[in-house]
Amino acid sequence: MNFELKTLDLAQLAREKCDALLVLVDDHFKPGSGALSELVAQALKSGDFSAKTGRLLQTYRHPGLAATRLVLVGAGDGSVKQVRNAAAAAVNAIKASRCKQAVLHLGALAAVNEAVVSGAMLAVADTTYVYTTTKPKAEARSLQTVTLGVADAAACQAGHRHGRGILAGIELAKEWANRPANHATPTHLATAAQALGKPAKFKTEVLGPKEVTRLGMGSFLAVAKGSEEPLRFIVMRYDGAAKTEAPVVLVGKGITFDTGGISIKPAGEMDEMKFDMCGAASVLGVFKALAELRPALNVVGLIPACENMPDGRAIKPGDVVTSMSGQTIEILNTDAEGRLVLCDALTYAERFKPRAVIDIATLTGACVVALGGVRSGLFSANDTLATALQTAGDAALDPCWRLPLDDEYAEGLKTNFADVANIAGRMAGAVTAAKFLQRFTAKFDWAHLDIAGTAWKSGAAKGATGRPVALLVHYLLGQAAATPARAPATRTPRAKSTTPAARARRA
Ligand code: BES
Ligand code: MN
Ligand code: ZN
């Protein structure tokens, strides 16, 4: 879908030819000149319409309007959250009409900033997204072009650009996450990472079982043992800043299907375990966004990808394996496999001497119980990193909530047969999983996002959400802004540089 920005007021809006005009009206609405403004004022006065979020008033072929349909939609206090909800309601209202071109007018809102523009774009994209990979005949998204009407297009350009980059990332993450496991094998994910890297000039490296064995990733290998599908360890590098800048490393759990292994899961809703690679999908999505936005920052993406299957060769409860870190692990439950693949990826991350490592994983059912589908679980011993991620999530409307990491929570991971066990009893399952991971993060600042509750929706609306791509991109753009301005790889003086990358960085 194509988003365009245009400077428009309500008087000009009446002359815009399109299938639908979607006009957001907030509590601060002040009537100006022209018939459309008067119409809004009258509708408000009569009580037929109000600025309450989601309130709708629709007309068809209204005299004096060049557009076929008009939808007034209440945007509450005009905050990013209300604008998002209003934009979604407006787009839903015209869904059945199969409009091709719409104008989403934000120009009547009291305050339109970068976040409001990108928030509105993400809402429109989200409500019109259609999964196609294994359902190519699904009724395609009809909306082709959405013009965002604003009071000052120049002032909204950064929001528009960020919105475009983030939504490209979210849609890539959704599509990969939604694919069933037989269309999203570790090999497929690796090919996707390579395809993503080529035009964007990322370096993508894909390791297979041989290389992973050579690295000593005994824990990751153990999980993959029960599957006929060969594992893949995907390494992506986006170099937007000087080589001397320490990168942020993102590690995405890439279990392309989680049966539980020998500790097999019950049959009900097991299909949803195709979503157990949503962490990996979010890393792919972030790299898609980086390709579009080209911030001045170095980022490494690591994806340990494999299936967790029961088999004659599969790991058994009680098996002890040696991780890449040298720590031995007693696998008491083969269904606690996410931490087993992540721990080796975390050890691998050490070689990048990272400024921060963030892992993203559909790690525990316990996190779903604790936080539901609203906020992702956030764990970090580093207050600065935790605050930066929480703030980014709030700003991106992709929120997370910090949970504790007290050492007392690690008690249950003790075992007589190895350095650590992979489970610790029934209580505080999201925290004990994080405590397990923390043992592999001594050499860098680390945060863990448990997205088990937020990465996809169940029921009639079953499907991936693309979370936490928006959170991560917001965080990374913030880090890029905070990075000392050094000569990028091109060595062109920044102020005078006219390379697209340099222009993008200044935008
Ligand atoms: N992928 C699951 C976590 C999960 C379960 C996410 C349900 C979303 C919905 C993970 O691999 C898992 O099976 N975790 C176990 C851990 C337990 C065995 C300690 C869990 O949460 O039940
Ligand atoms: Mn599992
Ligand atoms: Zn899992």
Shared-domain flag, residues 106 and 223: no
Instruction: Specify the ligand 1 atom closest to the Cα of 362.
Output: 6
Answer yes or no: is 498 within a domain.
no
Ligand 1: centre distance to CA 305 (Å): 16
Shared-domain flag, residues 210 and 131: no
**3-state secondary structure labels for all residues of 55-84:** CEEEEECCCCCCCCEEEEEECCCCCHHHHH
Residue 2: partners with Cβ closer than 8 Å, 6 or more residues away: 144, 145, 146
Ligand 3: centre distance to CA 24 (Å): 42
Shared-domain flag, residues 133 and 261: no
Answer yes or no: is 134 within a domain.
yes
| 179 annotated active-site | no
Ligand 1 atom 17, closest CA: 336
Answer yes or no: is 140 within a domain.
yes
Shared-domain flag, residues 134 and 216: no
Complete DSSP assignment for 367-381:
HHHHHTTTSEEEEES
Answer yes or no: is 464 within a domain.
yes
Pocket test for ligand 1, best of 265, 270, 363, 364 (most atoms within 8 A of CB): 364
Assess whether the previous peptide bond of 317 is cis (omega < 30° from 0): no
Does the CB atom of residue 336 touch ligand 1 within 6 A?
A: yes
- The answer to whether 308 and 403 have CB atoms below 8 angstroms apart is no
Shared-domain flag, residues 120 and 211: no
pTM, full prediction: 0.94
Residue 51: partners with Cβ closer than 8 Å, 6 or more residues away: 25, 26, 27, 29, 44, 74, 75, 76
Q: In the chain, what's the furthest Cα-to-Cα distance?
A: 81
342-380 burial, b if ≥16 CB within 10 A, otherwise e?
A: bbbbbbbbbebebbbbbbbbbbbebbbebbeeebbbbbb
| 265 annotated active-site | yes
Domain count, the chain: 2
How far is it, in rounded angstroms, from Cα 392 to Cα 386? 10
Q: How many CB atoms are closer than 10 A to CB 195?
A: 12
Does the CB atom of residue 429 touch ligand 1 within 6 A?
A: yes
Ligand 1: centre distance to CA 365 (Å): 5
Residue 190: partners with Cβ closer than 8 Å, 6 or more residues away: 206, 232, 234, 305
Q: Nearest ligand, CA of residue 260?
A: 2
pLDDT at 485: 55
Shared-domain flag, residues 223 and 128: no
Q: Nearest ligand, CA of residue 433?
A: 1
Does the CB atom of residue 307 touch ligand 1 within 6 A?
A: no
Answer yes or no: is 184 within a domain.
no
Shared-domain flag, residues 274 and 369: yes
CATH code where residue 27 lies: 3.40.220.10
Instruction: Specify the ligand 1 atom closest to the Cα of 367.
Output: 21
**Amino acid code (one letter) for 136:** P
Mean pLDDT value across residues 232-254: 98
Answer yes or no: is 219 within a domain.
yes
Does the CB atom of residue 479 touch ligand 1 within 6 A?
A: no
Answer yes or no: is 335 within a domain.
yes
Shared-domain flag, residues 140 and 216: no
Paired strand residues for 56: 73
Does the CB atom of residue 376 touch ligand 1 within 6 A?
A: no
Shared-domain flag, residues 145 and 46: yes
390-444: pLDDT as tens digits: 999 999 999 999 999 999 999 999 999 999 999 999 999 999 999 999 999 999 9
Pocket test for ligand 1, best of 264, 330, 335 (most atoms within 8 A of CB): 335
Segments forming the whole domain that contains residue 333: 172-177+206-482
CATH code where residue 287 lies: 3.40.630.10
Which pLDDT band holds residue 494 (cuts at 50, 70, 90)? very low
Q: Which of 265, 355, 443, 462 is catalytic?
A: 265
pLDDT of 30 over the 90 cut: yes
Place of tokens 């999964």: 131
Shared-domain flag, residues 23 and 109: yes
Shared-domain flag, residues 147 and 264: no
Does the CB atom of residue 421 touch ligand 1 within 6 A?
A: no
Shared-domain flag, residues 288 and 412: yes
pLDDT of 489 over the 70 cut: no
How far is it, in rounded angstroms, from Cα 41 to Cα 210? 70
Q: What is the mean pLDDT of the chain?
A: 95
Answer yes or no: is 198 within a domain.
no
363-387: pLDDT as tens digits: 999 999 999 999 999 999 999 999 9
- From 83-87, 249-253, 485-489, the region with the lowest mean pLDDT: 485-489
